[in-house]
Structure formats: structure tokens, C-alpha cells
Structure 1
Amino acid sequence: MREISVQRLKEGDVLAKEIYSSSGKILLGKGVVLKPQFIYRLKQMEMYSVYIEDDLTSDIIIEDVISDKHRFEAMRAIEKSCKTIQDDKNKEINIKEAVSNIVQDILFQREIMISLMDMRNMDNQVYAHSVNVCVLSCVLGKGLGLPIEKLNELAQGALLHDVGVVNLPAEILNKRSKLTDEERELYNSHTTQGYELIRNKAQTSIIVAHMAYQHHEWTNGKGYPRQLKGNALHPLAEIVAIADFYDCLIHGSPGIPRVLPHVACEILMANAGVRFRKELIHIFLQYIASYPTGYTVKLNNGDTGVIVGQNKGLPMRPIVRVFEGNRPQVRVTEYDLAKELTLFINYVIE
């Protein structure tokens, strides 16, 4: 399989991974042959990309670090929690089972390299973002050697980190161009709102509330809402902040247009020691594929290829499969960029 921009889909392409609704229902199943009306619907949903079948990359299997079942159970849990809070902020919420399943899935993985992009759309983006931040936070937490009790607490805080956006206008949440001063002030209030919504819940600790409160604080003291600095930040909130920032970069967020994963990794590195502690960024990036498996890229020698594998510890130097000639006479060559030192990726073809 390989990843392709929705804008480049054509009639007859075959889906390699299911497309889900925010409730976890399959909208288009694996193996569906795309018709013009299906492609039009995907564009209407404002999906960026999907995975399609390709006989030249049929051996590539891109697995998520958690099961589809547990991902969508978590999406339903955070959606239910947000709606519960909207209806009655005094009602209790229960996400412990959902986050426990995510933690167990991640602990079960021997080697982790985040390569799969979740197929989110405008209808489920808030919930998909929350789950992705939960997954990314747990991956970093595991990399730091946190005990399971701390991982579960981290997962709860990460899943609930953006609960303060529940009452924000959709036009702000969906906006990717620069926010006005008034919009930015309203958006920035979600950290304080989230803290207030969580801190009195019997099912969550005050530390979970502080993860929502502090996930936009910077280690240099220039974040918000309280301009906390250095050791004043809770360590679990620092983890959530990195996961949140990365996911916002690769999928877009209010006032921030999306960028490709390798650009997001460069931005993270530039913010090491500024927004985030250097050691946390160093560990986090060990688990992130700068060029995810399935992406199509152009090499500096002019060849076009598909990323088919990763080199752990060298996220910028994946394995690329190049195709020359026309079907059925196609010659296939694979380049391991960890060994081919004169080759590098010029750009990603979306």
C-alpha cells in the first residue's frame, strides 16, 4: 500500500485502509474501488490523504501502534465525555478503560516507529487529535521508562487535554489561517476552561487537570496561560505539550496550517530548549518516522520512489523503493539511505 493525497485520487483506485466516521463506523471499507462520488465525498470531508492498494507496494503493511478497536473506543469515550460536560459540567466522566487499553497496546509493542497517519476529517478532528495526543504521549512516556501507573495517568490527561475547547465556536477550531487577536484570546482560554472542568471530577486526579492547564506552557516561560518556566512545569504536562504540538503540526490546528512530518520534526528540533526540554525532544523523535512508510518521494538523483522501511535511530534516512519503466516491464530498485550516503530526499510528493 501507499499513501496518496485525496486530491490525486482517481477513479478505480482501491482503498487499502478503512475510512471511519467519528463514531467508529466504517464509511468506506478496505478493498473498495473508488468511484467519482466516493472521491467527491472524501474531498467534502476535507480529508488530506488515504492509503491505496498498489501491486508494486503490495508487500508494505503499515500498522498502527494501537488497534483500530481501541482507537475508536477512545474516540467514543472522549466524544461522550465532551458531550457530557457540555450538557452538565458537574456530571462524572469515565475514560479509564479506554486509556488503559491504549497503554496496554503500546506496552505490548517491542519496537515503535510512528508511521501511520490517522485518517481524520473535519467532523472528528477534535476527538482524533485527542486520541493521537494520548498515543504519542504514551509512546514518549514508555520511552522515558514511566511505570504503568504513571502511564495510565498520563494517558488520561492526554486524552482530556483539549476538553476545554468543547464550547469554542467551530469556525475557530476549523480555522487554519492566522487567528485574530480576539480569536486567539478566546482559543487560549481552553487551557483554563479544561482545568476547571476536570479538577473536581472524582474519576480524575488534580494532575490530570494540570495536564490540560499546562499543555501550552513553554520551558522558557513564554507559553500560556501562566508563563510557567522550567521546573515549574509538571513533567507529565511537558510530555503532553510535545505530543500536542507535533500532532497540531502534521494535521493543522487553529491558526496553524498543516506541514509534512519531516518538517514537523525539524520544527520540533528547532524548539528543543525553547518550548520543550531538549532531552524530551531527543527521545520523542526516536519514535517518529520523518518520512512515513508509504509516502512517495523524489530523490536528489531524479528518481521517484515509495518509502518502504525505516532505520531506527535514523529517522531522516529511510528505505526507498524506486520504479523505472512502464508496466509490466518495471524495474525495481531499493535504496537504503542509511548506506547510500550520497542520496537524500528532495521532497515528498503528496
Structure 2
Amino acid sequence: MRQLSINRLKEGDILGRTIYANDGRVLLGKGMALTKSYIDRLKTLGINILYIDDEVSKDIIVEDIISEEHRREAMASLDNAVQAVKVGKDFDGFNVKRNIDNIIQDILFQKDIFIGLTDMRTYDNQIFAHSVNVCVLSIVLGKALGLDRENLEGLAIGALFHDIGTVKLPKKLLSKREPFTPKEAALYQTHTNHGFDILRTKRELNLLSAHIAFQHHERLNGNGYPRKLEGDAIHQWAQIVGIANFYDNLVNDGPGHTRIPPYEACEILMGSAEKFFPKDLVITFLKHIAAYPTGCTVKLSTGETGIVVEQNKSLPMRPIIRVLVADQTLSRVQAKEYNLVEERTLFIESILE
């Protein structure tokens, strides 16, 4: 399986991962052969990157760190909560806890976690997919920091609902991808206050989860919002979710911004250490991130194009690359692989889409 830009798809390509709506419904199932009408529909939905299965990549395994079922259930429970809030009703916090516990169990079960899966997000499910991903990233960092099960649950709930306040904002604002105007930015920033107000009344949820929604845009240097808190005045859980949210916003389209490649996002996040986030949290977080995700296509310094087939977890910037080479008669194509830990004169110039 490998990543492919929506613009490089062709009829007959086989979908490698199921695409879901925000309520958990299947939009397009794994194994489907893509037709022109399917490809046009995916473009209309706003999907930029997806996964396909082909002969070149049939042995490449791109695994999610949580089960597809648990990711889908979390998106559906978040969608139910959002729909309830929209009409002024309460939502089932206990059901959310059950879904969170499943995700935590998936993550605690794994010894070495390395995240490199790219989400296939539509315009409609962007906020739901983002929130679940931030939840997963936050649990991974919380686990690495040694948080116990009870604290992981409070952290995860706050992470899942960190953007719940956006339900109070205009849909047009949330679907905008160009930079916000100052007036739009000020309006968007109110989602932290709205989120706190929504969550603090939920007695079955940890009150600190509400403070995550309130503080996840605060920064160490005091340049965050809504209260311009500094240093230790920002709760550790909010700092954890702040890092996860910051990274996921860099690598995916979202309100007021478009995505950049993961390796660039890693550099930007590292540069934010001690300014936006504690350095030790940033370093720990980056130890679990694939700068060049498995399945992505890259250009090498040799001019060759290849696919990332495996990670070197000790050196995440130096993965294993598969390059396709045609013989002199062009009658047969063979693959060769470079382990960039061993091929020290080679380097990746860019990710291709």
C-alpha cells in the first residue's frame, strides 16, 4: 500500500484504506476499483491524499496504531456530541469514556509506537478526524511521559473534545483554508472559551478535560490565547494536547491553513521548543513521529524517485526507500532498496504527491 495524491489517481486504481464520513458511515470501501466518477467525487469531498494497493506496493504495510473500528467509533461519538450541543442537548459522556478506553487499550498494548499514517479527510469530517488524531497523538505522548491509566483517560477526553467549541462558530469560517483576516482570527479564537463552557458542566468528565479545551492554544512565551498564560501556568495536559494539535494542524488542511509535509512539520515543531512548548515534551513527541511516512513517494538526491517501505526508528529521518529500475530493454521493472542509515551519501530532497 502507498500514498497517492488525488491528482495522480487513474481509473482502475484499488483503494487501500476505507474512507469514512464523520458519523462512521463508509463513504468508499477498501478494495474498491476507482472509476472516474469516484475520483471526481473524492475531489469534491476535499480529499487530497489517499492510499492505493498495487503491484509496486502490495507488500508495504502501513498500519494505524489504533484499530479502524475504534477510530470510527470515536469519530461517531464525537459527531453525536457535536449534534447534541448544536441543538442545546446533553451528550452521553459515559459512551465517550468507553470509546476512549478502547483507544487507550490499543495504544498501551503496543511497545514501540511510531506514527506515520496520513488521514484521508473530507471537508465535512476534517474536524472529527483531526480531533481523533489529536487524541491518539496525545495518548502516545502521555504514555511516553509515564501517565497512569486514570490520567490518560482525562487527557484523552480533553484531547478528543479540545475543539468542541468550534460548534459555536460559522461553518463558512471552519471550511476556509486561506489565512484568516484579523477579524476572523479573533472569532476563531473564541472556540477555546466555548469549549470550556460546554465541558465544565459535564460532571461525569474530569474538569481538567475542560481546561484542555480552554488552554490548548496557550504558549510558554505568553503569546497564546485566550489568557496569554506563560510557563507553568499552562497545565501539562494542555501542553501535551497543544503539541499534538500544533503538529496535526501542520500536516493536514484545516481552518485558516493548508498542510505541509511531515518532515517540514517536524522541523517547525523542533524550532518551537522553549518558545511555544517545553523542549522535553517536544523531543519526546518527535521520537514517535515518522518524518517520512511509510508509503509516501520521495525524491532522492540521486534524482531517483522511490517509496518509503520501512522506518529506522532510531533514525527517523533515514528510512528505507524502494526505487524502481527498468532494464535496458524496458521489458521488465525491478526494485532496489536503499537503507539510508547505511547509504550515508544519499538523502531525501522532498516528498512527492
TM-score category by the smaller chain?
Answer: over 0.9
Residue 79 of structure 2 corresponds to 79
2:295 is equivalent to residue 308 of structure 1: no
Residue 339 of structure 1 corresponds to 342
Q: Give, in whole Å, the separation in 2 of the partners of 1:9 and 1:156.
A: 37
Residue 223 of structure 1 corresponds to 224
Supply the AA of the counterpart residue of 1:166. V
- RMSD between aligned residues: 1.3
User: Is the contact made by 1:82 and 1:163 (CA closer than 8 Å) also made in structure 2?
Assistant: yes
Give the 5 Å matches for 1:311-322.
Answer: 311-322=312-323
Specify every segment of 5 or more residues in structure 2 that has no aligned partner in the other structure, as ranges.
none
Identical pairs, percent: 50
Give the 5 Å matches for 1:103-118.
Answer: 103-118=104-119
Q: Give, in whole Å, the separation in 2 of the partners of 1:145 and 1:93.
A: 25
2:114 is equivalent to residue 144 of structure 1: no
Q: Give, in whole Å, the separation in 1 of the partners of 2:107 and 2:90.
A: 32
User: Is the contact made by 1:5 and 1:50 (CA closer than 8 Å) also made in structure 2?
Assistant: yes
Supply the AA of the counterpart residue of 1:269. M
Supply the AA of the counterpart residue of 2:128. Y
User: Is the contact made by 2:165 and 2:196 (CA closer than 8 Å) also made in structure 1?
Assistant: yes
Give the 5 Å matches for 1:175-190.
Answer: 175-190=176-191
Residue 5 of structure 2 corresponds to 5
Q: Which runs of 4+ in 1 moved over 3 A?
A: 89-94
User: Is the contact made by 1:21 and 1:27 (CA closer than 8 Å) also made in structure 2?
Assistant: yes
2:287 is equivalent to residue 286 of structure 1: yes
Q: Give, in whole Å, the separation in 1 of the partners of 2:232 and 2:331.
A: 61
Q: Give, in whole Å, the separation in 1 of the partners of 2:148 and 2:331.
A: 53
Q: Normalised by the size of structure 1, how large is the TM-score? A: 0.97
User: Is the contact made by 1:162 and 1:212 (CA closer than 8 Å) also made in structure 2?
Assistant: yes
Supply the AA of the counterpart residue of 2:267. E
Once the 2 structures are TM-superposed, how far is the Cα of residue 313 of structure 1 from its aligned partner?
Answer: 2.7
Residue 120 of structure 2 corresponds to 119
Once the 2 structures are TM-superposed, how far is the Cα of residue 252 of structure 1 from its aligned partner?
Answer: 2.2
Matched residue SS, 2:14: coil
Q: Which digits, 9 at most, give the CA deviation of each residue in 1:77-115, with x for residues without a partner?
A: 111111111212556644111111110000011211111
Residue 45 of structure 1 corresponds to 45
Q: Give, in whole Å, the separation in 2 of the partners of 1:131 and 1:304.
A: 33
Q: Give, in whole Å, the separation in 1 of the partners of 2:84 and 2:21.
A: 20
Q: Give, in whole Å, the separation in 2 of the partners of 1:162 and 1:79.
A: 12
Matched residue SS, 1:348: strand
Supply the AA of the counterpart residue of 1:340. E
2:26 is equivalent to residue 22 of structure 1: no
User: Is the contact made by 2:163 and 2:195 (CA closer than 8 Å) also made in structure 1?
Assistant: yes
Once the 2 structures are TM-superposed, how far is the Cα of residue 245 of structure 1 from its aligned partner?
Answer: 0.6
Matched residue SS, 1:57: coil
2:201 is equivalent to residue 205 of structure 1: no
Give the 5 Å matches for 1:227-242.
Answer: 227-242=228-243
Matched residue SS, 1:156: helix
Q: Give, in whole Å, the separation in 2 of the partners of 1:57 and 1:7.
A: 19
Q: Give, in whole Å, the separation in 2 of the partners of 1:93 and 1:151.
A: 16
User: Is the contact made by 2:270 and 2:282 (CA closer than 8 Å) also made in structure 1?
Assistant: yes
Specify every segment of 5 or more residues in structure 1 that has no aligned partner in the other structure, as ranges.
none
User: Is the contact made by 1:92 and 1:201 (CA closer than 8 Å) also made in structure 2?
Assistant: no
Residue 195 of structure 2 corresponds to 194
Supply the AA of the counterpart residue of 2:339. D
2:57 is equivalent to residue 60 of structure 1: no
